[in-house]
Amino acid sequence: MSAPEDKKAELEGSRAPLLDHLEELRWRTWRALLGVLAAAILCGIFHEELFFFLTNPLFRALEHHELETAVKFRTLTGAFLFHFKTAVFGGLFVSIPWVLYQIWRFVAPGLYKQERMLAFPFVFFSTICFVGGALFSYYLVLPEAFDYLIGLSLKNTTYKMIPDITIEDYLSFTTKLLLAFGISFEMPVATAFFSAIGLITHHMLIRFWRFAVVLAFVLAALLTPPDYITQIMLAIPLLMLYVISVGIAYFFTTRRERAGDEAA
């Protein structure tokens, strides 16, 4: 039997009825949620450390402008909900490898045998890219964004505006940026996966580069606050990641073409 026929037989053997796929999806979703829950409980134990970690960029900006390093909450349950939400967010962050593994296990039956062997690299590099994007936002983007936004009104000589920052707004602002950068940095991994299975090639990405530039700035405007600093600090890494993705697609496309020529 030839190589294409072997692959066809392999895919035919992995097919299952729709209800079986839905059942598999349900169990994978439950396992992923249980992993997030367990990690959230663990993060809840260290809620004070999480508080200082999340508010550190803001407090540094407030200190730079000689303002009080404090945040307020609007409701009686504000402080409790902040610790609860940070525990959930921290649990999602910590359990990313487990969630990605469950996604891969759901997708794997529809792939060829050699494609299923990408499970560990997929989970490993996806985690590295997500964490790297979130850390990039935490250490580089958030301090610059807070310093700019707080100092914007303080520089005015005709009137003075003192920031009254609530914990609810701050948490929403910070988690949105961390998730936006974490997900955006997954572009090379997604490119590697889709080019490895033949859905995209480097030729397609090169032809699409003009639209990619526009799309990078549109996404940056949608995912970040309405200030040009954070938008540029997201758009530029997106464009750099797009260039890296072209190189990744070139590697996998040429490798797949060589394998096809050898099989022929």
pLDDT over threshold 60, residue 198: yes
* Chain segment 51-95, per-residue pLDDT in tens: 899 999 999 988 888 888 888 888 888 888 888 989 998 898 889
**119 vs 122: CA distance, rounded Å:** 5
Q: How high is the pLDDT of residue 38?
A: 93
Measured on CA atoms in the order 139, 145, 148, 153, is the torsion positive or negative? negative
66: left (phi over 0), alpha (psi -120 to 50) or beta: left
The pTM assigned to this predicted structure is 0.78
Confidence of residue 240 (pLDDT cuts 50, 70, 90): very high
pLDDT over threshold 60, residue 7: no
pLDDT over threshold 90, residue 105: no
Give mean pLDDT, residues 223-243.
83
Q: Are 112 and 10 in contact (CB under 8 A)?
A: yes
